[in-house]
Each structure stands twice: as structure tokens, then as C-alpha cells.
Amino acid sequence: MEDEEKAVESLMSNMEAACSPSPIHCCWLRLRCWAATSIICGCSCLGVLALVFAIKAEERHKAGRSEEAVHWGAQAWRFILASFAVWLAVLILGSMLLWLLSYAIAQAE
């Protein structure tokens, strides 16, 4: 009877560990690499903040404080995505502005 209870408890704990959602689905080194890439290929000021948060998350993970690590990792991902989104918006809006400016000059002549 006790063996069955222990087996059920271990099965339930394994299922809870497998089903627990985590906002970070990659390793901590990859998070830091994405943050560094967002500095180079994105809006650099947001990328620097992403790198700072990624390093904080990695340090918290090494210290064994997983809740704080997940929090800082999620913040890093938000800044990484914001960095790429801002840079993409600048590229798109900048090219549209140049097209509109050339159209306005052509119409003025």
C-alpha cells in the first residue's frame, strides 16, 4: 500500500514538473546570446537592457533561485523582442518616409 502511494506521489510530482509553464524555453547561454544579438541587430539601448537582465537571470539560476531567474529571463525576452520590433519598425517606416519624400518631390516638379 505504501509503495503504491509513493509511486502515485512521484508520478504526480513528475507530471507537475513537466506541465509547469515556464516563460523561458531555452538555456541561459542562448538567452544571453540573443540579448547580445539584439544589441548588434536591433535597437542597441534596449539590447543592452536585455543583456543586463539575461545576465541577472543567469546569475540567479546559478544561485539556485529559479523563480527570480525566470522573472529576469522573461524581462530579458521582452526587451529582446522590443529591440528587434523597434529596429524593424524604424527600417520599415524609414523606407516608407523616403518613398513618400521622393513622391512629394516628384509631384512638386
| pLDDT band (50, 70, 90) for residue 77 | very high
What is the average pLDDT across 65-75? 89
Give 61's contacts (C-beta < 8 A, 6+ positions apart).
Answer: 28, 69, 73
Query: Which tens digit of pLDDT belongs to each residue from 79-109?
Result: 999 999 999 999 999 999 999 999 999 998 8
Residue range 7-32, pLDDT digits in tens:
556 655 554 444 444 444 457 778 88
3-state helix, strand, coil in the chain (%, to 5): 85, 0, 15
Q: Which three cell numbers mark 26?
A: 531555452
pLDDT at 88: 93
Which among 77, 58, 79 is positioned nearest to 69, based on CA atoms? 58
In the numeric block, which cell numbers belong to residue 33?
546570446
- 67-90 in b/e form (b: 16+ CB < 10 A) is eebbbbbebbbebbebbbebbeee
Residues 42-67 pLDDT 10s:
888 898 999 999 999 988 888 888 88
